[in-house]
Amino acid sequence: MSVIARDLTQLGEELVVASTRLSRLATRNASTLPHAAMRVLGRLDELGQARISELAKADRCSQPTMSNLVQRLEEQGSVRRSTDPADSRASLIALTDKGLAELRDARRQAGTALAAHLGQLPASDLTTLEAAAAIIHKLLTLEPLEDTPR
């Protein structure tokens, strides 16, 4: 492995660790949604409607685990189930207006929790973080160069 590839791997690891810790810090005392529910609602916001098998794969959990979570979210009115037009035996899961409002509220609470920490940083660091957030959004839109397991 080249020095550049090794440095990029290390940077990737540091980003994963930092983003995971930042997410936990933001949601520790802020979110009214359980973490698993927030992940599923967020995934549906990102992907649009999806089959339970796709959600389970994206969330790296078993299909029965995802089915139970989706059933609870459906009972709460956060998601709705419809027949997949491509396969009448399968269902598509989608966010409801209520689910989207819950997700936005949870994100707002997380942002408020982080704001208390961000307010302690100098303006130059905030400018750097704004640029970093833009770069992270760009990174998320790039296509992988090779197949990677998910």
pLDDT of residue 150: 46
Cα 147 from Cα 78, distance rounded (Å): 33
For residue 32, the model assigns a pLDDT of 72
Chain segment 119-150, per-residue pLDDT in tens: 999 999 999 999 999 999 999 999 877 655 54
For residue range 36-61, what is the model confidence (pLDDT) as tens digits? 899 999 999 998 999 999 999 999 99
User: Nearest CA to 108 among 51, 33, 21, 45?
Assistant: 33
- What span, in angstroms and rounded, lies between the C-alpha atoms of 56 and 45? 15
Q: Is the pTM of this model over 0.85?
A: no
Q: What is the CATH number of domain 3-141?
A: 1.10.10.10
Query: CA 86 to CA 92: how far, in whole Å?
Result: 10
Query: CA nearest 33: which of 62, 81, 76, 80?
Result: 76
Q: At how many degrees (to 10) do helices 63-75 and 52-59 cross?
A: 110
